[in-house]
Amino acid sequence: MTFPTKPHPTSIAVWDVPSPVITSRAFRVKVGVKCSETCQLAGQRIEVCDEGGTRIGEERLGQATWPGTSGLYVADVALNAPTEEGTLAWSARFVAVAAGLPHEEASVIFTVRTARPPEHCVTVRVTDKETDAPLAAVEVRLGIYRASTDAQGLASLEVPGGVYSLDAWKVGYEALSRTVEADKDLVIRIEAWASPETDPDDGQVWM
């Protein structure tokens, strides 16, 4: 008696999701799938569905594995943001059979945050409080918007008008949070001072 081959388990992940996505604009995400037995999955189909289960995008996995991996195949999926602001829970799903060998379906939920088109540019300059030297690689958060400072200690964020919480973080430094009203283009200076290394998640949750 011949028994059917047991389907291979698969895993799926989504990354490179812009945050936020501008309402009504097109954007792309990467979806990767891997078989537990490292089967060849090139050309197999990926679907992306909205919160109601309606398919809003699909693509085929690429012909080559993702660099530095064994058996991870990736699709670059084109999507369109909805017209309204908000936070959405979309899903990506692997639905195919590879090379005649059954594979288990796999799905994952990922978050899409949408925002109005930007109206103002907020430039943040971060310096060392003691030396006044610019600080590079500081993580700057303005509400849901994020950027990192360059070698001159500068980070620019384009945002819609509104009131935002401004935070800055770098290993070995601390800086005070503040509230910013973005009703025009702004240049804001933040002074950071040396402190014991802490994890930003110890004091707050980054979204």
The rounded distance, in Å, linking the Cα atoms of 180 and 183 is: 9
Look at residue 146 and tell me whether its pLDDT is greater than 70: yes
The rounded distance, in Å, linking the Cα atoms of 205 and 39 is: 38
Same domain, yes or no, for 84 and 35? yes
The 21-22 sheet, strands edge to edge: 21-22, 106-115, 86-94, 45-49, 55-60
Among the candidates 56, 83, 115, a domain finishes at 115
Is residue 204 a part of any domain in this protein?
A: no
pLDDT for 141 equals 96
Among the candidates 115, 135, 161, a domain finishes at 115
Same domain, yes or no, for 87 and 139? no
The rounded distance, in Å, linking the Cα atoms of 163 and 172 is: 28
Among the candidates 62, 86, 115, a domain finishes at 115
pLDDT mean over 116-130:
97
CATH code for the domain of 43: 2.60.40.10
Q: How many domains does the chain contain in total? A: 2
Same domain, yes or no, for 33 and 105? yes
The pair phi, psi for residue 175, each rounded to 5°, is -150, 150
Look at residue 207 and tell me whether its pLDDT is greater than 50: no
> 10 Å Cβ neighbour count for 189?
10
Q: Structural domain of residue 169, as residue ranges?
A: 120-198
The rounded distance, in Å, linking the Cα atoms of 28 and 74 is: 13
Which pLDDT band holds residue 205 (cuts at 50, 70, 90)? very low
pLDDT for 3 equals 41
Same domain, yes or no, for 90 and 24? yes
Which pLDDT band holds residue 125 (cuts at 50, 70, 90)? very high
Segment 66-118, tens digit of pLDDT: 999 989 999 999 999 999 999 999 999 998 665 566 888 999 999 999 999 99
Same domain, yes or no, for 55 and 93? yes
Mark 103-122 as b/e (b = at least 16 C-beta within 10 Å).
beebebebebbbbeebeeeb
Question: Which percentage of the chain shows pLDDT scores above 70?
Answer: 89
11-25, 133-147, 175-189, 192-206: the lowest-pLDDT one: 192-206
The rounded distance, in Å, linking the Cα atoms of 77 and 157 is: 26
Same domain, yes or no, for 94 and 188? no
Same domain, yes or no, for 137 and 96? no
